[in-house]
Structures are given as structure tokens and as C-alpha cells.
């Protein structure tokens, strides 16, 4: 069963290809990893997406993570509408951005100062620049398969769209950038220790997704993050947690706070913008105060702290804190993963289902999946067939085997049952 789209969607995609590279504004949307042509969406409501073809889909992609409350949550949309009525952008300080900054610092143990920016890429890029300015060192350490946006140093052995496209790195990155970027396997503290012993005095930062989400969902093994904290502290290296995905995804704070681990800098995005372009960098006051205008590390943004994005973020956080939906979301995630694992066993399918809270990834391969090499050994073509069959059944998943699926507050138990019903056919060859 293939992904067939209507003449309307095909015409739109054809028009897009004439004016946009690949017909998309972000590579994974092109469906290159799963085959067929991308579905063009016009509307979202709750757990549903609606296409120009008049089809309805249960959405387990969730705009790649921001929509923990589902599409068009009434509290969020009302807040954005009220903010828009007062103006879309001022280029000045606003009361609401102060309120959001205060809220983030109150909720995140390691966040003494925060700078609002526009994207996760910008937050991570600034974190590395700030760490270099603070330490006076040049090298950084990242983990194979980790994705921290598309700034130059992050596109070496990166995850997400680079894996989807089968690209180990990107053209246009100078050799000198690669020379200052060290890469080691995720979940391997011994490899980190070896690099620290050799390069510790040259390293400015270690940047890590505390829960990897861009090679599929890969949680940290016991003790891995704690060892990173010990090693970086001993070497005077800035530890950066990229919580663009995990911030406010598993609780009303960061994953690091939930685990009792305090990095030096934290990158946030996705949920804190409630579906609007919003991200943040925060952490220790002595490091953050090196940012201009107080310090000598420059960062700026015309739309940073945009009032519409701030309104969406504040309202989203308000709903999350006021209702505490996390236990219910986790129960749905556990139910889906348990049922999908049982289905794989029942049908004799080799499949691992990684799940943490409302995040999950089906890996068509033998486990455990602990790092990029494990993820890449899984059957990508099998996932592509699974994706297409699920799409035909009205289930929208990330169009890549190296991404994470998300459950929102809008997903019902019936949505979970429909996922499993569709998967009964989709897991078969």
C-alpha cells in the first residue's frame, strides 16, 4: 500500500518544488526517507491533522514536539489572539517576556539567568559561543547522532534530518570547524573519559541531549549523565544540556531537574513556545552574564521575546502547571508501547519500542538501542513501509525512522486503540 495523494496535494507540491528547494522548508518534510510525496496539511485540531485532500489523521508527530497540548488548544490560541491585537512585534522589552523569564528560572533548578531566542539552533549555537568565551577554549564535544540544530559544529555526525538523508555531515563546513569538534558515542562514559584525559584542557563544552531524540528515542543508561557531570566539572568544561525536546515534556521542568543533575547551561525550545518560534538559553549566572550587553559574548535577535510567541509559551506552561497532565500522558505512552511490543511478538516481528513518558520510537531491529550505531542497524525500509501503511490508515508519524513520536494531552485512549489497530496490518511485510 503506497502513499497516494490527491491531484490537489500533488499540484501544491509541484508548485512548491518550482520555488523552494525540494518543495519544502525543512528537509525531513520531503518524505525522502519513507517514499511517496509529502501530505499537505491545512488545519490541526486536538490530536488531529487535516489535509488539503480532505483526509483526517491522528497526529503522533505533534509538529516534532512542541504541541504537548495538541493542535489549536483554546487557551493558547486565545492568548495569541489577545497578544496579536496589541501588535505583533515591538523590538523592545515587554512585561510578558519578563514574566516568562521569571517562570523559567523558578521552574528549572539550574537556571539563574535566561536569554530568549527564536529557535533551538540559535540557543545551542549561542551556548557553544558562550562556553568558548567563558573558558577561553575552542574545542567542543558532542555525541554521534545528537542533533543540536544546523549550526556548523553540530552537523558533524549529526542526527535527525542528516541521518534521514544519509548524510554524515554537510557541505559548506570548513575543515577547521571539524577539527574543533570531537564526537563520541552516546551512552559511553568510558569513551568520554578517554577524550577528557586527552583534550580536557582544550575543551570548552560538552553538549548532549540528556535523552537522545534525533536518532529515534534513546534514553540515557544509568549513570551516564551523572558521569558527564563529574567529568566536566573536574575538567572545568561547560556542560550543556540540550533540552529542546525534553524541556517540559516529562514534567513541569527539565529532564535534568527531574533527575537531580544540574548542567551549566540549558537549551530549551519547542514546548516553551507553545507551537510558536521560541527557544531559550539559560544557566549559571556567572556564565550567562558574559552575554552582551553585560559581557563580551555577543548575541542578538530582532524577534527574540516576540510577544506572540511569549504569549503562546506562557499560556502553555500555565496549562501544564495547572493541570499536571504528565502522569496521564505517561500512562498512554506505556500502554501504546506495551501493546505494540506484544503485537510484534505475536506476529513474529523483530521490533524494539523505546518509550519514555509520552515519547516513543518503534525500531525495526534487535535491541537494545543505546547509541547511533544501534539505531542505524535497524531496518529503515521496514520503517518506511510501516509509515506508509499507517498513513493510509489515518495515522501520521514522523516521516523518518530516526525521529521521536509524541503523545499529547489531546490524545485519547481511543486514539491509542486506533494506532494499535492500524499497526496490526502495518507491521506486516
CATH at 410: 3.90.1150.10
Residue 367 lies in a domain: yes
Catalytic residue of the set 147, 186, 383, 396: 147
In the prediction, which pLDDT does 166 show? 44
- Say if residue 269 is in the same domain as residue 331: no
For residue 68, tell me if it sits in a domain: no
Among residues 139, 142, 270, 380, the one annotated as catalytic is 270
The per-residue pLDDT for 230 is 97
Q: What is the per-residue pLDDT across 189-222, written as a single tens digit (0 to 9) for each?
A: 999 999 999 999 999 999 999 999 999 999 999 9
Condensed to tens digits (0 to 9), the pLDDT of residues 176-191 reads 777 888 999 999 999 9
Q: Same structural domain for residues 172 and 258?
A: yes
Same domain (yes/no): 303, 413: no
d(CA 402, CA 257): 26
Please give the residue range of the domain that contains residue 392: 7-60+325-426
Query: How far from chain centre, in Å, is Cα 64?
Result: 6
**Shared domain check, 357 and 277:** no
Q: Beta strand 48-51 with 56-59: parallel, antiparallel or unpaired?
A: antiparallel
My answer on whether 402 and 266 are in the same domain is no
Is residue 413 in some structural domain? yes
Give the pairing of strands 203-208 and 139-143. Answer: parallel
Question: Is 242 an active-site residue?
Answer: yes
By the 8 A CB rule, do 57 and 45 touch? Answer: no
Task: For the chain, give the longest Cα–Cα distance.
Answer: 61
Strands 113-117 and 265-268: unpaired
Using left for φ > 0, alpha for ψ between -120 and 50, and beta otherwise, residue 274 falls in left
147 is catalytic: yes
Q: Which residue has the cell 494531552?
A: 409
Catalytic choice (242, 264, 374, 415): 242
Sheet with 265-268, edge to edge strand ranges: 113-117, 279-283, 265-268, 238-242, 203-208, 139-143, 181-184
Q: Is the pTM of this model over 0.75?
A: yes
Tell me what pLDDT residue 118 has: 96
**pLDDT (mean) for 49-54:** 94
> Of the given ranges (70-74, 80-84, 194-198), which has the lowest mean pLDDT?
194-198
CA-based angle 185:403:191, to the nearest 5?
A: 5
- Are residues 277 and 333 both part of a single domain? no
Is 2 within the bounds of a domain? no
Q: Which of 270, 288, 322 is the last residue of a domain?
A: 322
328 pLDDT above the threshold of 70: yes
Would you list the DSSP string of 42-61?
A: EEEEBTEEEETTS-EEEESS
Same-domain status, 382 and 238? no
How far apart CA 198 and CA 40 sit, in angstroms, is 50
Q: What is the pLDDT of residue 159?
A: 53
Q: Is the dihedral of CA 357, 363, 368, 370 positive or negative?
A: negative
- Residue 16 covered by a domain: yes
Residues 93 and 241 in one domain: yes
Residue whose C-alpha is closest to residue 363's, from 145, 190, 149: 145
Q: How far apart are the first and last CA of the chain?
A: 10
Angstrom distances, CA of residue 304 to CA of 42, 90, 278, 280: 27, 10, 8, 9
pLDDT tens string 87-121: 999 999 999 999 999 999 999 999 999 999 999 99
Statement to judge: residues 317 and 332 lie in one domain: no
Residue at which a domain ends, from 303, 322, 341: 322
Same domain membership, residue 34 and residue 178: no
Note whether residue 1 is domain-resident.
no
Q: Are residues 44 and 83 in the same domain?
A: no
Question: For 234-257, how does the pLDDT look when each residue is reduced to its tens digit (9 = 90+)?
Answer: 999 999 999 999 999 999 999 999
Sign, CA torsion 250/256/257/261: positive
Active site residue 289: no
Residue 283 lies in a domain: yes
Q: Which residues pair with 147 in a beta bridge?
A: none
Both 122 and 111 in one domain: the answer is yes
Let me know how long the chain is: 429
* CB-side neighbour CA atoms (13 Å) of 39: 27
Which residue pairs from 379-388 have beta carbons closer than 8 angstroms and sit at least 24 positions apart in sequence?
379/350, 380/33, 382/429, 383/34, 384/33, 384/34, 384/35, 385/426, 385/429, 386/362, 386/423, 386/426, 386/427, 387/34, 388/1, 388/2, 388/3, 388/34, 388/35, 388/36
Q: Is residue 110 part of a domain?
A: yes
Q: How many domains does the chain have?
A: 2
For residue 8, what is the enclosing H or E element? Answer: helix 7-19
Domain termination site, one of 322, 342, 375: 322
CATH of the domain at 252: 3.40.640.10
Place of cell 575552542: 138
Amino acid at each position: 500500500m503506497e502513499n497516494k495523494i490527491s491531484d490537489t496535494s500533488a499540484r501544491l507540491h509541484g508548485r512548491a518544488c518550482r520555488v523552494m528547494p525540494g518543495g519544502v522548508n525543512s528537509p525531513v518534510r520531503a518524505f525522502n526517507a519513507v517514499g511517496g510525496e509529502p501530505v499537505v496539511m491545512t488545519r490541526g485540531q486536538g490530536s488531529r491533522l487535516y489535509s488539503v485532500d480532505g483526509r483526517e489523521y491522528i497526529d503522533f508527530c505533534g509538529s516534532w514536539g512542541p504541541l504537548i497540548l495538541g493542535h489549536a488548544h483554546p487557551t493558547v490560541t486565545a492568548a495569541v489572539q489577545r497578544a496579536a491585537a496589541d501588535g505583533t512585534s515591538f523590538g523592545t522589552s515587554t512585561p510578558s517576556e519578563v514574566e516568562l523569564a521569571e517562570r523559567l528560572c523558578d521552574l528549572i533548578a539550574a537556571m539563574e539567568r535566561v536569554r530568549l531566542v527564536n529557535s533551538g539552533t540559535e540557543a545551542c549555537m549561542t551556548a557553544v559561543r558562550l562556553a568558548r568565551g567563558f573558558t577561553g577554549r575552542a574545542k567542543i564535544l558532542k555525541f554521534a547522532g545528537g542533533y543540536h540544530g544546523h549550526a556548523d559544529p553540530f552537523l558533524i555526525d549529526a542526527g535527525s534530518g542528516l541521518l534521514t538523508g544519509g548524510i554524515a555531515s554537510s557541505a559548506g563546513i570548513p575543515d577547521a570547524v571539524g577539527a574543533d569538534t570531537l564526537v563520541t558515542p552516546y551512552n559511553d562514559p568510558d569513551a568520554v573519559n578517554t577524550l577528557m584525559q586527552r583534550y580536557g584542557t582544550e575543551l570548552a563544552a560538552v553538549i548532549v541531549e540528556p535523552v537522545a531524540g534525533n536518532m529515534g528515542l534513546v534514553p540515557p543508561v544509568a549513570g551516564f549523565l551523572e558521569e558527564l557531570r563529574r567529568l566536566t566539572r573536574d575538567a572545568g568544561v561547560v556542560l550543556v544540556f540540550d533540552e529542546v525536546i525534553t524541556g517540559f515534556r516529562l514534567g513541569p521542568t527539565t529532564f535534568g531537574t527531574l533527575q537531580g543533575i544540574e548542567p551549566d547551561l540549558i537549551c530549551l525550545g519547542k514546548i516553551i513556545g507553545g507551537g510558536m518560534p521560541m527557544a531559550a538559553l539559560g544557566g549559571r549566572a556567572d556564565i550567562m552574564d558574559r552575554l552582551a550587553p553585560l559581557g563580551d559574548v555577543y548575541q542578538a535577535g530582532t524577534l527574540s521575546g516576540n510577544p506572540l510567541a511569549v504569549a503562546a509559551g506562557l499560556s502553555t506552561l500555565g496549562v501544564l502547571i495547572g493541570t499536571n497532565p504528565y502522569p496521564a500522558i505517561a500512562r498512554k505512552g506505556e500502554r501504546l508501547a506495551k501493546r505494540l511490543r506484544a503485537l510484534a511478538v505475536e506476529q513474529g516481528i523483530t521490533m524494539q519500542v523505546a518509550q519514555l513518558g509520552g515519547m516513543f520510537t518503534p525500531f525495526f531491529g534487535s535491541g537494545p538501542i543505546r547509541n547511533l550505531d544501534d539505531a542505524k542497524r535497524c531496518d529503515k525500509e521496514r520503517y518506511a513501509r510501516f509509515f506508509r501503511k499507517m498513513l493510509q490508515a489515518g495515522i501520521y508519524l514522523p516521516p523518518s525512522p530516526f525521529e521521536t513520536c509524541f503523545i499529547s494531552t489531546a490524545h485519547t485512549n481511543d486514539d491509542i486503540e486506533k494506532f494499535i489497530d492500524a499497526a496490526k496490518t502495518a507491521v506486516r511485510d
